Amino acid sequence: MHDEIYDSSGSFFDKYREIIPEFESFMHCLRSPLGNFVRVNTLRISREKLWNALNLRNVRCELTLLNNHFIRIPVDVQPGTLLEYHLGLFHPQTLNSAIPVFALEPGEDDFILDLCAAPGGKTTHLAEMMKNTGLIVANDKNVSRLVALRANLKRLGMVNTVVTMIRGEQYPLDTLFPKILLDVPCSSEGRYMIGEDGKVLHKCRMGRGLPQVQKQLIHRALKILAPGGVLVYSTCTYNPEENESVVQYALDRFDVKVSDINLCFPHEPGLSEWGDTKYDDSIKKCWRIYPHKTDSVGFFVARMVKG
């Protein structure tokens, strides 16, 4: 991947003008740094004690929309330079990226597959919510990203996770999982920002082929999801071809239903249509999360239950 720049102010996002509420506020938000958040590792410390420890280092802490789990710190503070990071007391994580984990509703003694796990922010969040019990299978196909995953598991003290390195589209069919987290590779539009010159800055990723990869991943994930099981599909992009269209693909081919996400958090419903494509009415239960509502990266989350 390498940095690229779209050559005109905001023109890239114009195609989303009709689906993003308060579009001008959205565009304004992308011109400033988004919030800097850390997730408290409650296996080792309480939010209150971490708050006090950071304040003693003159790191000003603020409340968040996920107040029991996240702390906001100044944007000019690099979390990885703090002692508390190396002690495994917190993990730097965007606020909205926690929603897929909450949507999966992990509990103690659960058996969960994180199919595209590296570098491990959501995996370690799962382990924390499971109180280091049960079993997480954390999979990724990229060996360099798995190095980061293993490092984060070790630093945060997670002991209920095994790591596998398999292409998600080819994950073995011999084990069924009651819960699967599928945070797929995506175009990452939710992380794009607008520079001082008004141009859109982003990381270049393979774009046109992504929906096909995402459909292959959700197809395999639903094959290995146990009857009655829950799958959470998520991206950090706004593109309906990577979001609602992939969920529609799953609905058309499997006995699954989109279910409600039981969490109080600012969001917009999934789309009912995009261009000439009409989506199943249940896709409105999916969540679209926008940066100007949460001061964090854009996200899409769908929770599905298998019949």
Q: 72: domain CATH number?
A: 3.30.70.1170
Query: Do 144 and 258 sit in the same domain of this protein?
Result: yes
In this prediction, residue 5 carries a pLDDT of 46
Answer whether residue 26 is part of any domain: no
Mean pLDDT by 10 residues, the chain (307 residues): 45 92 95 95 97 96 95 96 97 97 98 97 98 98 93 98 97 97 96 82 68 97 98 97 98 98 97 96 98 97 97
In this prediction, residue 206 carries a pLDDT of 53
CB burial readout 147-168, b (16+ within 10 A) else e: eebbebbebbbbebbebeeeeb
In this prediction, residue 200 carries a pLDDT of 78
Answer whether residue 183 is part of any domain: yes
Query: Do 164 and 258 sit in the same domain of this protein?
Result: yes
Q: Tell me the whole-structure pTM to 2 decimals.
A: 0.95
Count of domains for the chain? 2
- Provide the residue range defining the domain that includes 87: 35-93
In this prediction, residue 194 carries a pLDDT of 86
Q: What residues contact residue 209 under an 8 Å CB cut-off, 6+ apart? A: none
Per DSSP, the three-state class of 100 is helix
Query: Do 149 and 220 sit in the same domain of this protein?
Result: yes
Query: Do 63 and 112 sit in the same domain of this protein?
Result: no
Query: Do 99 and 89 sit in the same domain of this protein?
Result: no
In this prediction, residue 204 carries a pLDDT of 54
Query: Do 114 and 41 sit in the same domain of this protein?
Result: no
Query: Do 214 and 125 sit in the same domain of this protein?
Result: yes
Answer whether residue 266 is part of any domain: yes
Question: Catalytic residue positions?
Answer: 236
C-beta separation of 185 from 213 below 8 A: yes
Query: Do 199 and 138 sit in the same domain of this protein?
Result: yes
Query: Do 194 and 133 sit in the same domain of this protein?
Result: yes
Quick one: CA dihedral 142, 145, 147, 150, positive or negative?
negative
Residue from 209, 195, 183 nearest 301 by CA: 183
In this prediction, residue 1 carries a pLDDT of 38
C-alpha span between 32 and 226 (Å, rounded)? 43
Give the number of C-alpha atoms closer than 13 A to the C-alpha of residue 92, restricted to the C-beta side: 14
Q: How many CB atoms lie within 10 A of CB 52?
A: 12
Query: Do 100 and 87 sit in the same domain of this protein?
Result: no
In this prediction, residue 191 carries a pLDDT of 93
Query: Do 175 and 47 sit in the same domain of this protein?
Result: no
Q: Which of 93, 117, 138 is the last residue of a domain?
A: 93
Q: Which of 93, 110, 125 is the last residue of a domain?
A: 93
In this prediction, residue 205 carries a pLDDT of 56
In this prediction, residue 207 carries a pLDDT of 60
